[in-house]
Structure 1
């Protein structure tokens, strides 16, 4: 009957793909290891998600020295047909605005 803890289901509204994209939006130079630790997944899972996002055209990694710097194609549309008219910029803006100085909590 799904994952439960203390009688409550453990599902969330955002997928790990959305969380990885948001971490990269917050810090385009973030390491996969840091992404994984922040959102609570394995490095292997985080790397797989970065690969998925790159292959789908949402990310463009550029090698800078020994690190990747990610550029997000924020005008790319959501993949599911019910949201396909919206750019991922809407999601990014919704969650990254709170990281800006003076933003309401």
Structure 2
């Protein structure tokens, strides 16, 4: 049995649900074990998050042998009132980048030019 990932202290910008969803968006047939390692969560925590996402209709899966292939409901609207009208697709657009884009922009979206927050 694999050891639990090292915990993180302090706050972060993203929830674990968003991290798991982004990992699935990046690779729809990713294993729970790999999601857990990528997101630094336990496999059980990832299973609970996937269950939450499926229960609320944000995610579904099909089983092919021992492999799950996940399908994200991209047009589903986010739950919090502060993000009213924002879809899962719009969130994932910000979170999931091709590795070449990540390297080219130095990890920053190109539309952000300074620290003032104005493009």
User: How many residue pairs end up in the alignment?
Assistant: 97
Segments of structure 2 that go 5 or more residues without pairing to the other structure are 1-7, 106-119
> Separation in 2 of the partners of 1:77 and 1:64?
29
> Separation in 1 of the partners of 2:101 and 2:16?
28
Q: So what's the TM-score if we normalise by structure 2?
A: 0.75
Superposition CA RMSD, Å: 1.7
Superposed, which structure 2 residues align to 1:22-37 within 5 Å? 22-37=22-37
Q: Which has the larger radius of gyration?
A: 2
Segments of structure 1 that go 5 or more residues without pairing to the other structure are none
Deviations 1:40-78 (A, max 9, x none): 110000000000000010111001111100000011000
Q: So what's the TM-score if we normalise by structure 1?
A: 0.85
- Write 1 or 2 for the structure with the bigger share of strand: 1
